[in-house]
Amino acid sequence: MAGEDADASSGGNITKRKKTRAKPPPSRSSASGPKVPDVKPPAPPSQAPPLSVTDESMRTAVTELIATNNRLRRAIKNRDAEIASLKAEVENLKKDLVEADMLGKQQAEDLLTVKQEMEQAKKQQMLRRGSSARRLTQRKHHPLNPEASMVDPSDGTVRKGHMGRMASLATADILEALPIIETDILAETFVELYKDPTASVDYLASDSFALDILRLCEKAKHVFEAESRCLYLESPTFVFGDTHGNLEDLHFFSDNIWRLGMNLHPGRFLFLGDYVDRGLSSLEVVTYLIALKILFPHKVFMLRGNHETRDVNGWEEHYGDRSFIAQCKSRFGEDRGEEVWEELNQVFDRLPLAAVIDHEIFCIHGGIPRPLPGSAPGASRLDMICRVPPVSGINPPYDHEEEHLRQLASECIWSDPAGEDQEESGELGPDGYGDSPRGGGTICFGNLAIDDFLREHKLSYIMRAHEAHSYGVSLSKGARCFTVFSTSKDHNQGSRAICGCVLVDFDRMEVITRSPHYRNQYVHRRDSVSLAALPPNELEAREKVGLITEVPSEDSDEYDDYDDMYDDGYDEYGYEDYYEQNGEEGAEGGGYEEGQPPPEQSADGAGAGGPAAAEA
């Protein structure tokens, strides 16, 4: 096809191909058949139109993305502005610090200048005084030279100086030589709390208070368990009797004896037991004393009383809402209250039983025990007291307690001096002991028993608690037996009853009693004028923790009936009824031994020693 096509010339012309039209295909026909019509080929598909955003949801999404993008851009711009502002503030603060530093240096220089000027003026004043003193010395001679000489005990050197100055140095040396005493924060908190219990009424009724009591008991158990069952103390020692949940009287002693704190007092403090029951502040009284014991273990000593046993302080049927277990449950609820009650009783199980002051005075809650038959040769009753297990339930006992030692411990906390009528009627045995009017197998001791005990141990006096007296302290048995009672309430002693304690100070004993006119600022009767302005919820809260009492006047018949119910319940619940209902033989066979009240309460109200056996 050389003639049809043209080659590209050197001038860059493009070769063009000649276009020819295609011939149509021949029609399909046959000689014999019908003629088939021509079929046009299908038209080529047309190109699809371009896509357009018509869907409403897509438009909304795009709009939201654009709006979000704009918000983010604005937020970034705002953040950048804040960062710039903070940087500027930091720079300003740096400038202020530099200026303050310069100002401080300038003030320091000014103070130094003023100090130098003052020292210079002082020197000039001293020079002027010196010249005046020299002139005065020339006129008058002082025969006394106010100098002191001190000998250093380590090397024997002598220091001389002005008397006042030397005294100050000696005091400083003594204070520096004193040992540093680490205090228990929890116990310190309890002691501070009871200085003003009205400020912590909500806490005293809270579960937090219950948990703190449990923690306090864990600390106290180790302290008491490590002590001997019979303590040997030196005077001066203050001896206290029953307190029975009476926070008011305990405040009287703290306000007048250790007002500045026990750590600043030279004496020791011995409590003879019965810290709970009767008074409505049993929890406060016992935890306050336990906290003092933890803080000052060599100054505070607590003995066990008959109310520090489960049979007595758990006797809710007899003491009602004044029983210790009822107070615990009322304060903290059934479960938590019983837990607190049990934990405190485990502390009671570890309390010592007796103490001896200056090898002269035997101190105990109840009285002197009888000699133990079959005891080791040469072993005194004080030796046998020391053999009582450091953890003893007594009433009821633990399985590990030996019966003769449990009997000894029971007599220590339950016995009483015999009355004069018992001494004269011959009711006492040849050893000077007899049955106590309390019942329950408890014993009493007469003059002959006291003579024998004091002679055996080379002692002079017996100091005990366990019996209420309206004058706080009483003497009996030829002034050889002191009975100390440190609560003035809840024992049917009248409105003018007082509480007391005894100070044993080497060769003398001094009785300290509370005047019936003394009034504290915490515990009040509901009809007191000082409570008139308090709202009802505050009155209810204070009453719940024992700071408000509902006890009627002690001079009224209602008060006498009240105390008769709790103090003279022998005829109503005691052993006479018990014997009538169960018989003498049944009472004796009720599972208790002489000197120990029955361990459990019977359904008719008798048992556990009877109310008469648990009175003091």
Strand partners, 356: 232, 362
**Spatial separation of the C-alpha atoms in residues 168 and 148, rounded to whole Å:** 12
Contacts of 213 by beta carbon, 8 Å cutoff, 6+ apart: 283, 287, 340, 343, 344
Closest CA to 269 of 245, 233, 294: 233
Helices first, then strands: H and E counts in the chain: 20, 18
Residue type, 157: T
Pair 596, 441: CB distance under 8 Å: yes
* Strands in 142-220 per DSSP E: 147-151, 158-162
Q: Which of 307, 318, 365, 491 is catalytic?
A: 307
**Close Cβ partners of 531 (under 8 Å, ≥ 6 residues apart):** 524, 539, 548
Question: Strands (DSSP E) along 394-547, which ranges?
Answer: 416-417, 433-435, 443-445, 461-464, 473-476, 481-484, 500-505, 508-513, 524-525
Give the Cα separation of 601 and 610 in Å (integer). 9
Q: Hey, CA dihedral for 220, 224, 226, 227, is it positive or negative?
A: positive
Dihedral in degrees, nearest 10, Cα atoms 85, 87, 90, 96 = -80
Active site residue 307: yes
Q: What are phi and psi of 158, to 5 degrees?
A: -110, 130
Bridge partners of 443, per DSSP, are 435
Q: The tokens 């001190």 sit on which residue?
A: 150
Q: Classify strands 524-525 and 548-549 as parallel, antiparallel or unpaired.
A: parallel
Q: Is 300 helix (H, G, I), strand (E, B) or coil?
A: strand
Question: Of the candidates 425, 431, 502, 416, which has an alpha carbon nearest to the alpha carbon of residue 467?
Answer: 416
For the CA atoms of 58, 61, 65, 70, what is the dihedral angle to 10 degrees?
100
Q: Which two tokens stand for residue 313?
A: 């302080």
Decide the pairing of beta strands 354-357 and 230-233: parallel
Distance, in Å, from the CA atom of 402 to the CA atom of 372, rounded to the nearest integer, reads 12
How many other β-carbons are positioned within 10 Å of the β-carbon of residue 356? 17
Active site residues: 307
